[in-house]
């Protein structure tokens, strides 16, 4: 096993990952780089009210020349798999060891931390899967400075920030005339709005499950309901603390966020509340589907038992008659030994009596309403 490093901003090797993750008393500021994480890629966007440029940065130190300019610099780090790049970025942006720990050690609970010259925001982004149900979830970290914004994403290939990038390069709206705090708002708003397409798909899935539960409930249907409930719980865990973080951004008097941007953040907060309402509504609907499923299965079982009971009740007298006339006592020994066995129409008469008994029983059951199928529910 590789030797552990015991300074405040150490990087844990793959061999030490399990020990540091489980061992109590790990030093504050220790970051753990996942061996399966994609390599880090740095994309820098620098813009003002006149122009915007975008370039991929190979050396993290190149970002330093953009940090003190009057333009807005957005440094987007995609991927958490490059130890050296993350450490050097921490030095370029003068990140506190605890900030680097929150950024790299995912997942973290969405929150807001106010440092002297930086505002750190941890958010959760969800993106719907294209070829299947469900969604991808990843952490996005924001480090807001006076003239720059540093964002760190888990995955390099997917995010919901493309509309914001398009607005920057097309100079639409007021984003190019505003500071990095407005850029932070725009990205947070994109993250919150990204929940709505995911929830729209869950609404369609719940409607399909309602039809399936009513029409033909099966154990497979039950597994689908459980899966929807688990995924909705994950969405709730992602959006609930995010709403609290937005509330803190609105209420705190941080110098990093202007009064005008706080007005926009209120709208973002309202969207987060709407997302929470939709998540809670869908969770209640999923729980209701569970009750409907159990009721439908119970009704089906009752119908099956009722049908078997009706069949049994009909065949009990018929079996009795068949058993009596199957004893075959000799009528020559005694006139009381089933004289019907020697009748010319004895066999048809016996069948007719048995059919008449079955018809009478069915008529009685029908008049009492016992033959109705109560498991067929109308929407």
pLDDT at position 10 is 40
Task: Look up residue 254 and give its DSSP letter.
Answer: -
pLDDT at position 167 is 92
Q: Tell me the CATH number of domain 304-367, given options 2.40.50, 3.90.550, 1.20.58, 1.10.1740.
A: 1.20.58
Task: Look up residue 2 and give its DSSP letter.
Answer: P
Task: Give the C-alpha separation, 7 to 77, whole Å.
Answer: 25
Q: List, run by run, the mean pLDDT of 10-residue segments along the chain (379 residues).
A: 37 39 62 79 90 88 83 90 86 87 85 88 89 86 91 86 91 89 94 93 90 84 90 91 91 86 92 94 90 81 80 84 74 72 77 86 78 53
CB 34 within 8 A of CB 103: no
Task: Find residue 138's DSSP bridge partners.
Answer: 125
Residues 254-269 as b/e (b if ≥16 CB within 10 A, e otherwise) read bebbeeebbebbeebb
Exposure on the CB side of residue 141, measured as CA atoms within 13 A:
26
Residue 60 three-state SS: helix
Structural tokens at position 61: 């130190």
Structural tokens at position 109: 């609970």
CA separation, residue 110 to residues 120, 142, 274, 329 (Å): 10, 11, 18, 89
Q: What angle do CA 206, 207, 213 make, to 5 degrees?
A: 85
Q: In this structure, what are the phi and psi dihedrals at residue 203, rounded to the nearest 5 degrees?
A: -60, -40
- β-pairing, 148-153 vs 72-78, is parallel
Q: 33-173: which CATH topology?
A: Beta Polymerase; domain 2 (3.30.460)
Domain extent listing, the chain: 33-173, 304-367
| Helix intervals (H) in the chain | 14-22, 83-92, 97-104, 162-170, 180-193, 195-215, 219-251, 259-324, 346-367
pLDDT at position 132 is 78
pTM for the full model?
0.75
Find all residues with CB under 8 Å of 208, minimum gap 6, and list them. none
Name which of 237, 246, 62 is nearest 142 in CA terms.
246
CA separation, residue 18 to residues 1, 81, 109 (Å): 11, 17, 21
Structural tokens at position 374: 């109560």
Structural tokens at position 333: 């020994």
Task: Find residue 57's DSSP bridge partners.
Answer: 42
Task: Give the C-alpha separation, 225 to 216, whole Å.
Answer: 14
């Amino acid at each position: 096993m590789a030797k552990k490093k015991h300074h405040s901003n150490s990087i844990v090797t793959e061999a030490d990952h399990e020990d540091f993750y489980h061992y109590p008393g790990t030093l504050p500021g220790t970051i753990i780089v996942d061996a399966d994480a994609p390599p880090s890629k740095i994309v820098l966007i620098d813009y003002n009210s006149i122009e915007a440029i975008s370039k991929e940065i190979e050396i993290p130190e190149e970002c330093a020349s953009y940090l003190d300019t009057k333009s807005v610099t957005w440094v987007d780090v995609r991927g958490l798999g490059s130890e050296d790049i993350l450490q050097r970025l921490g030095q370029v942006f003068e990140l506190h060891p605890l900030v680097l720990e929150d950024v790299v050690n995912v997942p973290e609970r969405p929150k807001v931390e106010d440092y002297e010259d930086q505002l750190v925001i941890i958010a959760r982004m969800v993106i719907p899967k294209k070829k299947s149900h469900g969604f991808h979830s990843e952490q996005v970290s924001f480090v807001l400075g006076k003239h720059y914004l540093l964002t760190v994403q888990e995955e390099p290939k997917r995010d919901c920030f493309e509309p914001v990038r398009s607005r920057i390069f097309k100079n639409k709206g007021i984003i190019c005339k505003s500071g990095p705090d407005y850029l932070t708002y725009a990205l947070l708003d994109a993250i919150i709005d990204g929940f709505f397409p995911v929830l729209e798909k869950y609404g369609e899935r719940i409607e399909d499950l309602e039809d399936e539960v009513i029409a033909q409930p099966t154990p497979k249907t039950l597994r689908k309901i459980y899966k929807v409930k688990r995924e909705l719980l994950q969405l709730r865990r992602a959006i609930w603390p995010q709403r609290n973080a937005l509330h803190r951004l609105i209420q705190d008097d941080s110098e990093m966020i202007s009064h005008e941007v706080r007005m926009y953040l209120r709208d973002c907060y309202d969207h987060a509340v709407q997302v929470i309402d939709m998540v809670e509504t869908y969770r209640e609907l999923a729980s209701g589907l569970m009750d409907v499923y159990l009721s439908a299965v119970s009704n089906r079982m009752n119908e099956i038992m009722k049908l078997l009971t009706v069949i049994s009740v009909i065949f009990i007298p018929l079996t009795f008659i068949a058993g009596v006339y199957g004893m075959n006592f000799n009528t020559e020994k005694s006139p009381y030994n089933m004289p019907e066995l020697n009748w010319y129409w004895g066999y048809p008469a016996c069948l007719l009596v048995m059919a008449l008994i079955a018809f009478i029983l069915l008529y009685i059951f029908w008049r009492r309403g016992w033959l109705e199928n109560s498991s067929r529910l109308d929407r």
